[in-house]
Structure 1
């Protein structure tokens, strides 16, 4: 068994990869929807002009023009006419419902008919995807011939520019989190095959179980951390031999990305305390070189 590999790192990477893939899929879908919306919005403006045209015909006017449809807000449009007209409220409702049913983005909208001076709302109603939520009043009433403008406000759909900005702005942050995540789960250096196949070491009266990260001294069991196990494993493979400090730092901490000298001293101190039950075994400092696991026979 590879004692120096983080067994969960593979699962973590797959999990993060799945999250990243999902995030990218959402972005692609959002922009794809936005792209298709451009065509649908252009088609909507044609339908709005058609509404104006049919209202003129219903008013008995087949010669005057429907002025260019004006987009007065993000999801609100205004239909304007060259000349005055009259209309039946129920005809207006039926015409807008029939034509806007051809617009896939127009399931919910509010219609307001205003005087050209913009001071009064002459008539208004709301259409919803669920017909039970429609709000329609004052049907079958004829409005006098006058100058009217028709405002139609649609319920927002898709991804707006602000949302896209947040998504794009979040990508660098996601990349940074991903970098930190992958650094944290990076597999440890793989030890040689002979070490991987060796689980038990006898160090004086100490039994070192590298597989289960335990020490047994005079019948007493002491647990080891992962770093303590890797460190003692290096000493156990070369008892009574000097191990250079740089080698210990390189093999234990190099894959972490940052090597801190005091970390090695701290773990050496912890190992000494756990081994002190056997006076015949000790980790000693070899000045200017490193450390040695001394085992007295």
Structure 2
């Protein structure tokens, strides 16, 4: 799952950059068309409806040049109005600079700049330039243009990648939470004995119920091991004394009763498990879980007998 999500993130990023490059090429072509429209309307405003607007030249990544086939008289007011209107139509950046160059002298004979905070500089309006062969340079700051083009396409794919990363983290954390928590210090290879809701690990001398674990003494563990071998069966006191203390010489019955009492307290969290004292005979580990099939069978037969 994690590998699949990583692959999706990589593919989404690659597709995002491919789409950005294609979209940038489209924007460039659209920009050229709009600049030709500037030249076309400028000639119409000068009364020229037949001469050509020559191919738009890209001087640099921020500067474009409009050339014309014939001479014409240029009206600055018309130039400002036409360029402002078409730049707004094409969603260009709010900042740009325009220079009119007289080709014979290669001098700037008119120019104006438009800024974002209405800090526009538009001089010499109302003064018509005489007929001449003019070129128009349009300068757009790279920071403004590139930022608009880049972020318009990078942001959506960055959001997609970020979303996929967050999903990956969420899935990973959920899988960690679902991992089964094993009791501390218990190896999976160690055998356990089921006593109702309890798990008894003889080798580790541990008794576990749920997430709670209780350490047993050597004697408690030995006695519980004897009880678990014969659950629901009467175990003679002498047998318990012999097997529980056979290597320790003489032992009194009172010591046996004390250890049995300790085991009872540790087993009391499961009401279906108990150690019962059979007076004068011994003890029995009562496990109701193993008795239930017999009880159900008895009740079933009782219906037919009655």
What TM-score results when the alignment is normalised by the length of structure 2? 0.44
The structure number with the bigger radius of gyration is: 2
What TM-score results when the alignment is normalised by the length of structure 1? 0.45
Q: Which of the two has greater helix per residue?
A: 2
